[in-house]
């Protein structure tokens, strides 16, 4: 899957054998700003490495859909919202702190290492 184009509203769906994806994520961005592009890139790489075929990532540009930002109570952008699995969590920023994002998603760093083929460390 190619890196998503951050300049337009889009939904990035990973192919899954399950009828429902395990993780449902929404990323609210403000246009193609540097921080928005960084957030899209960072969450995409985290998902590809640790959640292959298990997630849906919807990228929502609050400039193009301001009513959605109000409805979803977006307080800042970029903002990642994990809808599923519960509990619902959110984090604001470029998502460059991978350990923090992994913790919010309920994943551990060994999950990423296993996905990348690295041996586990004890």
In the chain, domain spans: 10-115
Worst-scoring range by mean pLDDT, 30-34, 85-89, 105-109? 105-109
Run of H or E including 104 = helix 98-105
Peptide linkage before 93 cis (omega within 30 of 0): no
Is the model's pLDDT at 44 over the cut of 70? yes
Q: How far apart are CA 120 and CA 122, in angstroms?
A: 6
Average pLDDT over residues 49-53: 91
Is the model's pLDDT at 1 over the cut of 60? no
Q: How far apart are CA 92 and CA 30, in angstroms?
A: 12
Average pLDDT over residues 89-110: 89
Model pTM greater than 0.85?
Answer: no
Average pLDDT over residues 21-29: 94
Average pLDDT over residues 11-22: 56
Phi-psi map region of 3: left, alpha, beta (phi>0 left; psi -120 to 50 alpha): beta
CATH entry 3.40.30.10 includes domain 10-115: yes
């Amino acid at each position: 899957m190619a890196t998503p184009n951050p300049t337009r509203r889009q939904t990035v769906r990973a192919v899954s054998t399950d009828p429902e994806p395990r993780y449902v994520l929404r990323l609210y961005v403000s246009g193609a700003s540097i921080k928005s592009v960084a957030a899209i890139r960072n969450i995409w790489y985290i998902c590809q490495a640790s959640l292959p075929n298990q997630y849906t990532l919807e990228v929502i540009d609050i400039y193009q859909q301001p009513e959605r930002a109000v409805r979803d109570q977006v307080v800042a952008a970029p903002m990642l919202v994990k809808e599923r699995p519960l509990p619902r969590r959110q984090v604001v920023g470029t998502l460059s702190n991978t350990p923090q994002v992994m913790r919010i998603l309920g994943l551990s760093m060994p999950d990423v290492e296993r996905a990348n083929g690295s041996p586990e460390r004890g």
